[in-house]
Amino acid sequence: MRLVIATPLYPPEIGGPATYAKLLAEGLPERGIEVEVVKFSEVRHLPKLLRHYAYERRVRRALSGADAALALDPVSVGLPTMRAARKARKPFVVKIVGDYAWEQGQQRFGVMQDLDEFVKTRQSSLQVRVLQSVQTRVARAARRVLVPSEYLKGIVGAWGIPSEKIEVIYNAVLTGEFGAVPEAVASLPRPLVVTAGRLVSWKRMDGVIDAVSRMPEVALAIIGDGPERVALARHAREKLSGRAVLTGTLPHKDTLATMRSADVFVLNSSYEGLSHLLIEALEIGVPIVATRAGGNTEVVEDESTGLLVQTGDTEDLARALARILADGARRERSAARMRESAKRFSTETMLAATATLLHTL
């Protein structure tokens, strides 16, 4: 079988699609599937409409010698891939790791609802409705839809996509080598709480700052960048003067080293499809506190491999942090259990399930 992978990102670019595309490109040939990767980065320099037209032509050329295509998002590469596959009369599969219309609505078009409510409600914004229409159209046209969690299967099902068409395959996560802890973080007092992610509203980093501020001896490191960075830096200065650092974006290996140095890793999101950071925390064996949001409950088992708290409840988050920080032996006691749980997200498991699905097209 010969497969075209259409990806919005590819190394040295960073992000989930980049990691996933590289794993597939390297691992699928061993399972009888030759791969050609078509990278959106090769047309990103072009004006908006022209870049998508040029990308569609690239995918169509690649499909002339292939059996099928796999698009790693439903909009930027999904729409051109759908059009190219239709013209080439080849099947395609789309991977969906979130609701693009909701994310853009939150960041650009004034959407205030959480995702579970968003997918049940007709939106007033024309721009949001257009994005919803695009992602749904691509999902309907695809032969199969891949999602990385049962939670996202439910979200895509709410778009009107039949359940039997949606396949859950957990993403693989590779911790790889560990780098260095930034000096600004290493100099913070202990104990240390670490959180990471894009600095956007649904990550609720401000809630982590508020929870840590209730524990006078505890320091906080926030890894990541995004539109809320300036506001969060100001909030951290007001609440945690001298015991908080916003590192900005770090190389992956330095992020892992900083997580490993933590006394507890926190994910306070109101939405997660399937968090790679939580899986990495499992593999590292660092104590975890996470919200009961999205796919988090599929990664973390409450009171076993971590503590789960109610979304948006700063008091609950603070109590969970205090529990872990007061239990000095917890890390050693639960590390083996956490690493065993992380095996569900191995490269071998992901590649085998993906190859099996592709061979059925």
Query: What's the mean pLDDT in 50-73?
Result: 96
Query: What's the mean pLDDT in 220-237?
Result: 96
Does residue 190 carry a pLDDT above 80?
yes
pLDDT at 130: 96
Does residue 15 carry a pLDDT above 80?
no
pLDDT at 296: 95
pLDDT at 19: 84
Backbone angles phi, psi at 80, to 5 degrees: -60, -35
pLDDT, one tens digit per residue, over 114-173 is 999 999 999 999 999 999 999 999 999 999 999 999 999 999 999 999 999 999 999 888
In contact, 94 and 169? CB cutoff 8 Å: no
pLDDT at 172: 87
Which CA distances in Å does 37 have to 1, 61, 146?
14, 12, 18
pLDDT at 242: 87
pLDDT, one tens digit per residue, over 337-358 is 998 898 889 999 999 999 999 9
Query: What's the mean pLDDT in 83-89?
Result: 97
pTM of the model: 0.86
* Neighbouring-strand partners of residue 275: none
Torsion of CA 48, 50, 52, 53, to 10 degrees: 160
Distance CA 199, CA 229 (A): 6
pLDDT, one tens digit per residue, over 200-213 is 999 999 999 999 99
Query: What's the mean pLDDT in 83-90?
Result: 97
Give the least confident one: 222-226, 250-254, 331-335: 331-335
Task: Categorize the per-residue pLDDT at 48 as very low, low, confident or very high, splitting at 50, 70 and 90.
Answer: confident
Task: Categorize the per-residue pLDDT at 16 as very low, low, confident or very high, splitting at 50, 70 and 90.
Answer: confident
Domain boundaries, the chain: 2-172+346-359, 183-344
Does residue 68 carry a pLDDT above 80?
yes
Fold match flag (2-172+346-359 vs 183-344): yes
Query: What's the mean pLDDT in 82-105?
Result: 96
Q: What is the CATH number of domain 2-172+346-359?
A: 3.40.50.2000
In contact, 275 and 296? CB cutoff 8 Å: yes
pLDDT at 111: 92
- What fold does the segment set 183-344 form as a domain? Rossmann fold (3.40.50)
pLDDT, one tens digit per residue, over 277-293 is 999 999 999 999 999 99
Query: What's the mean pLDDT in 1-30?
Result: 91
In contact, 300 and 308? CB cutoff 8 Å: yes
Percentage of residues in the chain with pLDDT exceeding 90? 86
DSSP code string of 144-208: EEEESSHHHHHHHHHTT--GGGEEE-PPP----------HHHHTS-SSEEEEES--SGGG-HHHH
Distance CA 140, CA 209 (A): 41
pLDDT at 356: 96
pLDDT at 334: 86
Which CA distances in Å does 169 have to 70, 96, 175, 221?
14, 11, 19, 32
